[in-house]
Structure 1
Amino acid sequence: MIKPDPIKINKGQYLTDVLPEIPTNTILNKTLTGLGATYGELKSGRHSIIIEPNVPVIVGKMKDKKHENILGVYEGIYAEDVLNYLEKNVGKHKFKILTTPESLRKVKDAFLEFGMNIYKECFLLFDECQKIVQDVFYRQDIALPIDDFF
């Protein structure tokens, strides 16, 4: 049995105030939204792939002026686009990629062609993972990234 390690966040604080970086192999069970987990990962000093449940969330983060140099991957964005992003940013910025679960394959293919091991070099954050349970009956491919976690 996994024993939870609770972290207290006071009013007015964000997750990064008490947890500067989300540890690997962690299930972060937040009871409140808007605490800055995704924001913290977008600002972290590591390569990050963040799986978002739907396109509007990705587009919203890409339009937000707080975030720079992120790539959104969803229907209509291809592995070639991801590869171009990687080539353009290598050595300049940490890679920050937001993708839908169904488009993760394109990200993986681009990293493979780029010659970078996605599993050793990137942190994978599955944001709003409760959506898998809610949406899997009409969106079967939403569960595809689970194999990459386990």
Structure 2
Amino acid sequence: MKPKLHAAAGAIALATILTFWLSTVLSEIFGGPATVAAAKTAILYGMALLIPAMATAGATGAAMGRGWKLPQVQVKLRRMKIIATNGILVLLPSAVFLAFRAQAGVFDTTFYTVQAIELLAGATNIILLGLNLRDGLALALRRNRRAV
């Protein structure tokens, strides 16, 4: 049960962050201010899905990795610390700031600077979550082979 919950939560988190990132880029390229404001507002509301998914993935991963001495488990744990710190200190505050600025129609240098930082932090989390997914699949394969 725990491995399936962990995998589902991790997949939801990765898909959500990827959706946020793509919606930001696509709204800026193809949309106007109203589209950008809608995307930024949707991202802020989407945190209600992302935060529990990340917490669930982190908690179930920590529980499953407890006692494992494999280097992949330690690497996944280090990545999750970076992902969580990045999310709490950069992505969540940026999402709030950008949503409020976009709703107010304020698209100035500060808005675009914070957006660039948000896109970089989001891309970082997408890469790190993707690497954790890859390593998690390898660990699951290893666990399944040992069970057989």
Relative to the length of structure 1, the TM-score reads 0.22
**More strand, by proportion:** 1
Structure with greater contact order relative to length (CA < 8 Å, sep ≥ 6): 2
**More helix, by proportion:** 2
Relative to the length of structure 2, the TM-score reads 0.22
